[in-house]
Amino acid sequence: MPATTALSTIGAMKSCAQKPECVEKIDLAIRSKYGSAVQSGYQTVGWCASRIGQDNDLQTRIADHSRSASLRLRSQNSVFLSADRSAANPLARVSSEVFNVPILTIDFGGNGSQSDLFLSPAEYPEIQDRDHAIISASDTIICPYVRKGGRVAEALRNRLRSDQAGLVHVAVHPTKSCAGAELIAAGAVGWFRSYDRPPDKTIEVDVEKVPAWMLEDHWLTHCTRGTASKLDALDSKSRLRQLLVGSPLKTKPIDSLRSIVRSGRLRASALTSEHSRPVVCFTERSPAEILSMRKFRSHLGRWDYEPYGVSVSREIADAMGAQPVIYGDRDERDRLPDHDRFRFHPKGDTHDWTVEREWRAPTTVDLIQLPRDAVRFFAPDTLEHRQRLAHLTDRFIEWLPTKTAT
Tell me the per-residue pLDDT of 138-163, one tens digit each, with 9 for 90 and over: 999 999 999 999 999 999 998 888 76
* E-only strand ranges, 192-306: 219-223, 265-266, 280-283, 296-297, 302-303
Hey, what amino acid is at 112? G
- String of DSSP letters for 48-115: ------S-HHHHHHHHHHHHHHHHHHTTTTEEEEEETTSTTHHHHHHHHHHHT--EEEEEESS--TT-
214 near 398, Cβ under 8 Å? yes
Highest mean pLDDT among 4-8, 210-214, 227-231: 210-214
Q: How confident is the model over 301-352, as pLDDT tens digits?
A: 556 788 999 999 999 999 999 999 999 887 788 788 888 888 988 887 767 7
Over the stretch 20-37, which tens digit does the pLDDT of each residue have?
778 999 999 999 999 988
207 compared with 228, residue with greater pLDDT: 207
Q: Give the pLDDT confidence of 249-277 residue by residue, as tens digits.
A: 667 889 889 989 989 999 998 765 555 68
Please determine, for residue 281, whether its predicted confidence score (pLDDT) is greater than 90. Answer: yes
Per-residue confidence at 370, pLDDT binned at 50, 70, 90? very high
pLDDT band at 113 (very low <50, low <70, confident <90, very high): low
Please state, rounded to an integer, the average pLDDT across all residues of the chain. Answer: 83
Give the whole-angstrom CA distance, residue 279 versus residue 342: 7
Cα separation, 182 vs 2, in Å, equals 10
pTM for the full predicted model: 0.58
Q: What is the mean pLDDT of residues 100-113?
A: 84
Q: How confident is the model at residue 353 (pLDDT cuts 50, 70, 90)?
A: confident
Confidence band for 216, pLDDT divided at 50, 70 and 90: very high
